[in-house]
């Protein structure tokens, strides 16, 4: 029973939220495990931030329920929820030192001074800011500010930490470095992290599982490999990474593969695996660029698909090249 509870540590059931005539979150159900680093991924306006704000208590669901650790928090005010939130802007206090920023939540709760000092020191060590404790925010880099905001959010030891685009303000190099720091901190503390992001690479790097959202609905939930290698619909296939999509009609369904007459290429393509399709059905065949080899020789494997074409454009990007 406890194992089942841990798998549904955060339990979202049939949750919807509208703003006037605009449906922001549409009948979403989702389970997030205890100690999981989980990402909600989607483009602008997909409903991911609204869902996060309902978890935090800043928005109230029109219907459905939200539970954390078996307790219904759907109508609870934010200050009663076992969650904390790290905002995209970090929202650190400019007039306070690093140390005082981190300690702020405990002091507001009238925690004893000795306890405050001990936990601030613990957080400073965790985020590697011990030598910068006396600095003001305007004396810090973007990455250091991010760590101050993270320490302040964690010091009250919430059961769940919500992170709204936590790395969006950082440059590419620093963002890549901070991703691994964030993963290490989450692993060390064992707290459930729920990250909202529009950055596919960030979600794939950080998360054990990802929920892909579009127009207020969940389109797929799975591991990064499941999302990338086995998308359940055209939206997820097209949204995650780069892909080539061919439209066609099923001409044959075999035990281990299907054949599809492709409209764009004028040829019949074979797709390995079992698929719930019928002869005559219109389907999409999606192929990742890294699965394509450009050469002059015909493939020897019968299941390798060979298409003739002419290279029109070429782009060199260092670790990879783009062909059109």
pLDDT, tens digit, 9 for 90 and up, residues 74-95: 999 999 999 999 887 778 889 9
**pLDDT tens by residue, 96-148:** 999 999 999 898 888 899 999 999 999 999 888 899 999 999 998 888 888 89
Q: Give the residue extent of every domain in the chain.
A: 2-229, 242-323
HSE-CB at 72 with a 13 A cutoff on CA atoms is 8
Q: Which two three-digit tokens encode residue 224?
A: 């990064």
> Could you tell me which CATH number the domain at 242-323 has?
2.40.50
Task: Compute the Cα dihedral for 158, 159, 162, 166 and give only its sign.
Answer: positive
- According to the model, what pLDDT value does residue 1 have? 41
Terminal Cα distance for the chain, rounded: 54
- Fold that domain 2-229 belongs to in CATH: Rossmann fold (3.40.50)
> What pTM value is reported for the model?
0.86
Bridging pattern class, strands 71-72 and 83-86: unpaired
Angle at 113 between CA 139 and CA 191, to 5 degrees: 70
Chain-centre distance for alpha carbon 2 = 26
Between helix 113-126 and helix 172-189 the angle, nearest 10°, is: 130
Is there a contact between 177 and 143 (Cβ–Cβ < 8 Å)? yes
Rg of the chain, C-alpha, whole Å: 24
């Amino acid at each position: 029973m406890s194992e089942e509870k841990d798998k549904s540590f955060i339990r979202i059931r049939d949750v919807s939220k509208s703003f006037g005539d605009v449906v922001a979150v549409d009948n979403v159900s989702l389970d997030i495990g205890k100690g999981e680093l989980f990402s909600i991924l989607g483009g602008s306006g997909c409903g991911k931030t609204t869902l996060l704000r309902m978890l935090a208590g800043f928005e109230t669901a029109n219907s459905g329920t939200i539970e954390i650790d078996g307790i219904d928090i759907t109508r609870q005010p934010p200050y009663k929820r076992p969650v904390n939130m790290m905002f995209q802007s970090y929202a650190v206090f400019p007039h306070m030192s690093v140390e005082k920023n981190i300690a702020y939540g405990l002091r507001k709760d009238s925690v004893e001074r000795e306890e405050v000092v001990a936990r601030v020191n613990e957080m400073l060590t965790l985020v590697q800011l011990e030598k910068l404790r006396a600095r003001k925010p305007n004396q810090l880099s973007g990455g250091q500010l991010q760590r101050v905001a993270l320490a302040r959010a964690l010091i009250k030891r919430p059961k769940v930490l919500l992170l709204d685009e936590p790395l969006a303000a950082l440059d590419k190099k620093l963002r890549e470095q901070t991703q691994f720091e964030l993963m290490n901190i989450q692993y060390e503390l064992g707290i459930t992290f729920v990250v909202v992001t529009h950055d596919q690479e960030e979600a794939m790097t950080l998360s054990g599982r990802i929920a892909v959202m579009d127009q207020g609905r969940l389109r797929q939930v799975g591991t990064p490999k499941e999302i990338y290698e086995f998308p359940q619909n055209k939206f997820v296939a097209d949204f995650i990474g780069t892909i080539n999509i061919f439209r066609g009609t099923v001409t044959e369904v075999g035990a281990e593969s299907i054949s599809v007459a492709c409209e764009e290429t004028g040829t019949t393509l074979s797709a390995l695996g079992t698929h719930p399709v019928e002869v005559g059905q219109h389907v999409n065949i999606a192929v990742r660029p890294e699965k394509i080899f450009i050469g002059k020789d015909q493939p020897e494997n019968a299941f390798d698909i060979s298409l003739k074409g002419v290279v029109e454009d070429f782009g060199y990007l260092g670790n990879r090249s783009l062909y059109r």
